[in-house]
Amino acid sequence: MIIGPFQTDPPGERDFYKSIAPHYDRLAGPFLRPVRNGVRQAARQLGCERILDIACGTGEQAEVLAEDGFLTAGIDLSPAMLSKARTRGHPKATFLLGNAENLPFLSGSFDCILISLVLHEMNYSTAIRVVREAIRVLTPGGKLILFDYRWNPGFISSLSLALLHIVERSAGKIHFRNFRYFIKQGGLQAFVDKFPLKVVSTRTFLAGGAVLIVSEKRDGYLS
């Protein structure tokens, strides 16, 4: 993979995940395990070689992919999360501190990029910039794998959604406000429609409350 110059310690950034980082894998691991396997299966089917995991957190998904032989890079804005990720030590997984709105990679550096459960917590315009930047560093015809919440009226009254609201609310007012706006706008499926991407496949999780979307960068799309 080709890595350009980047800043390893963003100044003035508050690490909102410092307190949860030591417990994240234990709390979220069982919930995310089916998704981790779904991403791995998708990567195998797509024949990916170089994978970027944006907002990689503690690096569990990147490690799963590296164990399958993929050359994997993870990038995150949280030093605390990356501190956990770097203890994994897999030779095919590299972890960098950086901002997904300004990725430290040259255009066309990866043939597959993953963004999982992070777009909903961002300001909507920020999320759009992050996906545009992800598409920039994809090779022509490269695959963008997205996993996040979806709008599903049948899911609204379920216990799962009630628990989800508790989790999202516990992350703070701004996070919860962004989550609610993301769902109100139609969730991940409506979000993907904003980009010139070709949807290759979809698979739902959480009783239809979340969706894994594999999409393809269209020829001629530069940014």
Convert the pLDDT of each residue in 21-56 to its tens digit: 556 666 665 677 888 899 999 999 999 999 999 999
Does domain 21-217 sit in CATH 3.40.50.150?
yes
Q: How far apart are CA 205 and CA 216, in angstroms?
A: 21
Convert the pLDDT of each residue in 109-121 to its tens digit: 999 999 998 999 8
pLDDT at residue 140 greater than cutoff 70 = yes
Domain residue limits, the chain = 21-217
Q: How many residues does the chain have?
A: 223
